[in-house]
Structure 1
């Protein structure tokens, strides 16, 4: 196992190109013992295998915060925990994803990334009461069992030998009742002292994000930083077109200025949010309220913040006949800008709105935005629009 992890580590630091990906660890075979582990948890404690010695069954669910399959399955994980906790079953969720193995555009289906710090709000959003452990730092346990995707379930009987491995159910990203739960069927069989009818199924979901993929993350970052940032002038008529949202995407518009402290403070999170959702039907527009004479200052700030136009959202810009995602208001009356985009805007900065594909304001916030809440609202708007 140490040699396999060493292969990952070497690959992650050897450069940004590979002849081939490092081998994916094989799935633990039925009948094999549970690997020992000691992992930190969102409850501030370290949880070890010995802690669950008295459980009749140990159910390990390897999952994460970012994957749409894992997000959809999270309430069902808690449901299983509640249904079996008094029957001697210990259900333990483990974040198997390395945050270093993810590029920003892989985070566009939820409000949270896969860092340890983001596990607590994700667990709260998902209603978790079961242990939620972090293996994304070393991925030792993840590699030992060969967790292929998120979620991937491993169930061990009283002898702590593997009795079931695979997916939770056939629901995938669907919400509502589950027609068939492989996990529940396996747990019922083990508790009854019977062999599991289907001991092995395929796990479906986002592939495990291994730490060795850090090289791709670094390459993606360099490519983004190399982009040229542009700024176009905007008048009231142009603002009306932005509000009309002819591109038909979920759109975030942020009003800001270089002399506004909260504006400057929130900007890195806004750019990060844009990069997270760039693969989806989404676009991001900034409107600077600086004096037109300060165009060079605005340009310099935006370049420093790497607020570039993503190649993946450029088609939306082209569709509307625009050239940039950044604007400097040069009209003679800021009231006309407010009337064009958000009549409820008081003029205080920063101010952020989320538009539906039809150009309706579905969320607004005055003052420095909470990035997590903004992402929640974007996800909500995308889901309401039925966006892929």
Structure 2
């Protein structure tokens, strides 16, 4: 979005693409956002962040994703006015996203506009592997394994409650109080189980 604003006076088009096959995404891969990769969630993300560029969904057929051969997100492809590829790789340093001098994409846009881009430049990409339909069997095995997991119930005596409430940890702790008579008890516990399987690798207890 920042790059789009910086080059607002130039004839540059920026297009973002959501490439993942939704059903092949593993639960823990959803732990870095409150939104997934479905078309409906993609629309919510675009509205929330107020994207100032087109945001395309390619997750169902993945025609564009396969055509350009991208394997990892985020990956950027920069083309000149003749539609020739001049840069492929990372956006920049993810630790300093607002420093344009550290952005490979920004620097290559500047070079391209000045006519000094030269031959195609490629940089190593750091990110997450794109999920394709071929990855679906792996996701199905993980979901089947998760479905076989059991829950251990113990008596919530005063000593245990005191420990959980006062134990200092930098990891998030989630408490859900319920009773068997609650009509929504089962549905809520199923949802709670799904949330836990998404965030447990990040330390949720």
Give the structure-2-normalised TM-score: 0.88
8 Å Cα contact 2:75/2:90 also seen in 1: yes
Tell me which residue corresponds to 1:149: 72
State the number of aligned residues.
205
Q: Does 1:165 align with 2:113?
A: no
8 Å Cα contact 1:135/1:142 also seen in 2: yes
8 Å Cα contact 2:4/2:14 also seen in 1: yes
Superposition deviation, residue 175 in structure 1 = 5.1
Report 1 or 2 for greater relative contact order, CA contacts < 8 Å, sequence distance ≥ 6: 2
Counterpart CA distance in 1 for 2:178 and 2:166 is 20
Query: Compared with structure 1, are the counterparts of its residues 196 and 186 closer, same or farther at alpha carbon in structure 2 (3 Å cutoff)?
Result: farther
8 Å Cα contact 2:74/2:91 also seen in 1: yes
Superposition deviation, residue 198 in structure 1 = 6.3
Superposition deviation, residue 153 in structure 1 = 0.4
8 Å Cα contact 1:157/1:190 also seen in 2: yes
Tell me which residue corresponds to 1:123: 46
Counterpart CA distance in 2 for 1:231 and 1:158 is 64
Q: Does 1:243 align with 2:165?
A: yes
Q: Does 1:88 align with 2:11?
A: yes
Counterpart CA distance in 2 for 1:259 and 1:243 is 25
What is the DSSP-based 3-state SS (H/G/I as helix, E as strand, rest coil) of the residue aligned with 1:86?
Answer: coil
Superposition deviation, residue 192 in structure 1 = 2.5
What is the DSSP-based 3-state SS (H/G/I as helix, E as strand, rest coil) of the residue aligned with 1:163?
Answer: strand
8 Å Cα contact 1:151/1:205 also seen in 2: yes
Q: Does 1:219 align with 2:141?
A: yes
Q: Does 1:207 align with 2:129?
A: yes
1:24-60: CA deviation from partner (whole Å, max 9, x where unpaired): xxxxxxxxxxxxxxxxxxxxxxxxxxxxxxxxxxxxx
Superposition deviation, residue 220 in structure 1 = 0.6
Tell me which residue corresponds to 1:133: 56
1:277-304: CA deviation from partner (whole Å, max 9, x where unpaired): 1111221xxxxxxxxxxxxxxxxxxxxx
What is the DSSP-based 3-state SS (H/G/I as helix, E as strand, rest coil) of the residue aligned with 2:201?
Answer: coil
8 Å Cα contact 2:96/2:102 also seen in 1: no
Give the structure-1-normalised TM-score: 0.49
Counterpart CA distance in 2 for 1:173 and 1:141 is 29
What is the DSSP-based 3-state SS (H/G/I as helix, E as strand, rest coil) of the residue aligned with 1:232?
Answer: coil
Tell me which residue corresponds to 2:204: 282
1:188-213: CA deviation from partner (whole Å, max 9, x where unpaired): 22223332476221222112222211
Structure 1 unaligned runs (5+)?
Answer: 1-77, 284-388
Query: Compared with structure 1, are the counterparts of its residues 86 and 264 closer, same or farther at alpha carbon in structure 2 (3 Å cutoff)?
Result: farther
Q: Which runs of 4+ in 1 moved over 6 A?
A: none
Structure 2 unaligned runs (5+)?
Answer: none
Instruction: Mark the structure with the bigger radius of gyration.
Output: 1
Superposition deviation, residue 119 in structure 1 = 1.1
Tell me which residue corresponds to 2:190: 268
8 Å Cα contact 1:186/1:196 also seen in 2: no
Tell me which residue corresponds to 1:182: 104
What is the DSSP-based 3-state SS (H/G/I as helix, E as strand, rest coil) of the residue aligned with 2:15?
Answer: strand
Tell me which residue corresponds to 2:178: 256
CA-based RMSD: 2.1
